[in-house]
Amino acid sequence: MIALKLTNTKNFMNTFLRTDCFDHFLLQEATIASGATYVIDGRMPKDFYTKEETEELGIAGFSCLPYGMLRGNCFDLVKGKKTPSSFSFVLLLSPDNLEKTLAALKSDFTINDVTALFINIRFQNGLLTLTTGVSYRTFRLDKSLDQDWDRMIEKFLTKQNIEFDPMDE
């Protein structure tokens, strides 16, 4: 796990809320505190979509909805004359992207070993941070996947021109 300080808040927020850059992630949860506190539970509602709709939308087998389906709602809650006092977003890879990522990393881990690869984005007290995380199905001493995921996210941010610095320890 790494913790990064996102150094250009305006650029990041524009990228995060107004482009499809993060749309391939699933949104597990978002909390936005402004005049009121809004909580978006991104977990897939069991009885809302038909099987045909999930297949048509490309969300069959997902535990959470794609961030891209909820990004407009998030944008509407964040935009305005006043900056929210805080917010947090928990994003994870879809099952397909998890499998592709493990293959691209040439990891010894399989989708049976890993529950999720996460990024957490948080704004509080004027500080915008991103942390990474890996959720394993069982305890593992091998933390190579954590390190590989950290490097992959740093490369992703760099490719998207998102500026960051490591957090002070």
Which residues of the chain are under the pLDDT cut of 70? 169
**Residues facing residue 133 across a β-bridge:** 118
Q: Where are the alpha helices (DSSP H) in 116-166?
A: 144-159
Per-residue model confidence (pLDDT) at position 33: 96
Residue 46 has what pLDDT? 83
User: How high is the pLDDT of residue 81?
Assistant: 85
